[in-house]
Amino acid sequence: MKKLAFILLLLIFSFNCVYGQANIVQNLKELLDSTPDLKAQIDKSLKLQDKKSYWHNKTSGDFVKFFEEWLVYNPVPEAPAKYIMPFDELANSEAGEILFNNNIFSSWFIAFVNANGEYLGTPASAATMGQWMSSSLVKMDDYIVPKGGFKTFNEFFLRPVKPQARPLDEEKDPSVIVSPADGSICQIYAEDLDVNFKIKRDVINIRQALNNSIYADRFIGGPVLDILLWFTDYHHFHAPVSGKIVGVGEYAGSYNYNFKNVNWYKDLAKHKRSCYIIETKEFGLVAMIPIGFWSVGSIVTEPKVKVGNYIKKGEELGHFEYGGSSILLIFEPGTIKFTQPFPARKTGDDGIPIKVKQKIGIAAKR
């Protein structure tokens, strides 16, 4: 136990002091050399992967090389998730989930995410910017380009949209609700407080999503919408309704939970998330939950989003940094009528295209 504590302290010290790309990868190599059990666990996890898996026949050496390449990868429009997708595949396998239950490795991975985020904020990350600017997948005519162009990938990823490209539907009608983000939207049914539903293969339920909020009972039996953002989407999110903020929470995800419980991944959301609960006259309570998947190092909430403050429909509430992300909207039962033909799905992986500020529903008692 003392050895584990020493290793963790060493990790925290080294990760806080040095964020250089080579140092992060070197730290992983040193961890595997100094922690044989971790190396064995990684090799075992890789060995158990299906023949169709990217990880089939890979070794711990390949594992290190994977992160070495990912760390300085300059995303391109055709393959923005080149490393995120195979990583997600491993992390969501049974063996991979147990690996991420290892506190030493998960601590290293958090530092890796931070280092990768720092790299994407350097001029070197803009090497593929020409491909993004000319890609039909991005529709750059919708965005504001700074004089001299984008200097880093992060700057491009957080590009502001032209107001006329995302007009606010029925701005003056408070009984109209709009999408909080660009993405793919679908409806997920949660029949009672603790019924599980899936977002990108992760088992979540309303109680967990709201982090056991005092308002959770109000949402029993209410509909759930999921807006899944892709890497090419506009990654700022906006208020879907006007109202008073009565709840705000920031949750780091299961990295902070009991790592001795190997079944944590069945009970808790893995990913970082925020939660805003908005009180409205027209819809009752509306919960908005931005979720960051794996490589979203940060969900940035605007300072104005505080309990007691009033927000207006369409105004920006925050943004996601690079990676996959999703937003849940949860409603009280009987409060909303959807005006879009949202498909009912068991997971949030498949929906219809939607734009931020686009009308998605009206108050049921309009």
Tens digits of pLDDT across the chain (366 residues):
444 443 444 444 334 434 456 699 999 999 999 999 999 999 998 998 888 999 999 999 999 999 999 999 999 999 998 998 898 888 878 888 788 778 888 889 888 988 998 999 999 999 999 999 999 999 999 999 999 999 999 999 999 999 999 999 999 999 999 999 999 998 875 544 455 555 544 445 677 778 778 898 898 788 889 898 888 999 999 999 999 999 998 877 543 333 333 332 233 345 678 899 999 999 999 999 998 875 555 788 999 999 999 999 999 999 998 866 889 899 999 999 999 877 765 555 568 899 999 999 999 986
The reply to whether 238 belongs to the active site is yes
State residue 364's pLDDT score: 92
Q: What are phi and psi of 321, to 5 degrees?
A: -90, 180
264 φ, ψ (degrees, to nearest 5): -60, -35
Q: What is the pLDDT of residue 294?
A: 58
- Sorted by where each starts, the structural domains of the chain and their CATH numbers stand as 2-119 (no CATH), 124-156 (no CATH), 167-363 (2.70.70)
Residue of 93, 125, 254, 325 marked catalytic: 325
The predicted structure's pLDDT at residue 114: 84
Residue type present at position 172:
K
Q: What is the pLDDT of residue 131?
A: 96
SS3 state of residue 224 = strand
Taking each helix axis as running N to C, give the angle between helix 60-71 and helix 36-47, from 0 to 180 degrees, rounded to the nearest 10.
90
The per-residue pLDDT for 295 is: 52
Tell me which of 235, 236, 238, 319 is the catalytic residue. 238
Nearest to 117 by CA among 153, 158, 69, 66: 153
The DSSP annotation for 253-302 comes to -GGGS-TT-TTHHHHS--S-EEEEEEEETTTEEEEEEEEEETT---EEEP
pLDDT for res 264: 28
In the set 182, 202, 226, 233, the catalytic residue is: 182
Looking at residue 265, its pLDDT comes to 29
Answer yes or no: 235 catalytic: no
- Global pTM value: 0.82
Q: DSSP secondary-structure letter at 310?
A: E
Q: Residue 167 CB: number of other CB atoms within 10 A?
A: 11
pLDDT at 350: 67
Q: Cα separation of 247 and 165, whole Å?
A: 31
